[in-house]
Amino acid sequence: MRRYIHIYIDYIIYRKFASLCKFLGINVCDTLERLLKQFIEQHKDQAPLDFYLSDAKEVRINLNLTQNNYLILAHIARLDPQKWLDDLSSLDVDSMHPKQAEFWKQKLPELILEANRALEEIRLTGQGEEYAEMLQDLITKASELLQKILRKKTRRELIHA
């Protein structure tokens, strides 16, 4: 069952869309329905913005950004690159307990991937250079620490070498 609705969109975009539909020989309503269904399918399982903000202590989001940018900034706020940089700078690889080293062997690659994804999203939007620099510093620091941890031999390896 179809229902007549009023929506407000940019007139020029609508005219181009309608012209293209007419040129292709397809109905505007059918095309819009398919696009809406496709959008619903792609985003129905997406986590809401609150999910990204649950770990953040303080979140500042500029309200004139698009929804896509909201998710990017919320993701960054959840990641909190400055906190991670502070935590990583206090790590001493040489005096690290084997269990602690094992934890960081698993955590650092995850952190690097997450920071890299956030950095790519920021670069695509062209905004948030300050965050991009912090994320780049975080990736560099985490990579260096991971290399040091992986190079460090355990006491058992040193005995058997």
Instruction: Quote the domain boundaries for residue 27.
Output: 11-43
**Do 28 and 96 belong to one domain?**
no
Q: How far apart are CA 18 and CA 52, in angstroms?
A: 37
Q: Which two tokens stand for residue 51?
A: 């999910």
Residue with tokens 């929804």: 67
**Of how many residues is the chain composed?**
161
Amino acid (1-letter code) at residue 9: I
Q: What is the pLDDT of residues 41-97, one digit of tens each?
A: 887 776 665 555 555 445 444 444 444 554 555 555 567 788 888 888 888 888 888
Q: What is the mean pLDDT of residues 5-12?
A: 86
> What residues have CB less than 8 Å from 119, skipping those under 6 apart?
132, 135, 136, 139
Q: How far apart are CA 161 and CA 158, in angstroms?
A: 5
pLDDT at 137: 92
* Residue scoring higher pLDDT (44 or 161): 44
pLDDT at 68: 52
**Do 89 and 152 belong to one domain?**
yes
**Do 86 and 39 belong to one domain?**
no
**Do 37 and 83 belong to one domain?**
no
Report how many domains make up the chain: 2
**Does pLDDT of 37 surpass 80?**
yes
**Do 92 and 150 belong to one domain?**
yes
Q: How far apart are CA 53 and CA 72, in angstroms?
A: 11
* Residue scoring higher pLDDT (155 or 83): 83
| Residue at 18 is within a domain | yes
| Residue at 115 is within a domain | yes
**Do 83 and 156 belong to one domain?**
yes
Instruction: pLDDT band for 161, please (50, 70, 90 cuts).
Output: low
**Do 35 and 102 belong to one domain?**
no
Q: How far apart are CA 55 and CA 110, in angstroms?
A: 17
Q: What is the mean pLDDT of residues 2-21?
A: 86
* Residue scoring higher pLDDT (160 or 100): 100
**Does pLDDT of 141 surpass 90?**
yes
pLDDT at 95: 84
